[in-house]
Amino acid sequence: MRLSEFRQAVADEFGVSYGRVVTGDLVLDELAGHTAEQALAAGEDIREVWLALCRAADVPPNRRYGAGLPLPRS
């Protein structure tokens, strides 16, 4: 997962404005108590940050894996 895909997945799941709040304020216990933004800045794997964010925010599993991926080219 690229950072741009992470940002798109957050926007798709939470909306742009609330996505900023979630990534900046929600503490992710499984990532040493960092927020998503802090974890990314510390060099954590982007996909792992996304999945930790999903688990912490109770995002259903069926919406965790495809979000943020580009649409297939036709």
pLDDT of the residue at 69: 58
Q: First vs last Cα of the chain: how many Å apart?
A: 22
Q: Determine whether 17 is exposed, middle or buried from the number of CB atoms within 10 Å of its CB (0-12, 13-18, 19+).
A: exposed
pLDDT digits 0-9 by tens, 31-48: 999 999 999 999 999 999
> Alpha helices, DSSP H only, in 1-74?
3-14, 16-25, 36-41, 46-56
The model's pTM is: 0.85
pLDDT of the residue at 68: 56
Which of 38, 62, 36, 59 lies closest to 49 in space, CA to CA?
A: 36
Going from N- to C-terminal start, the domains of the chain cover 3-58
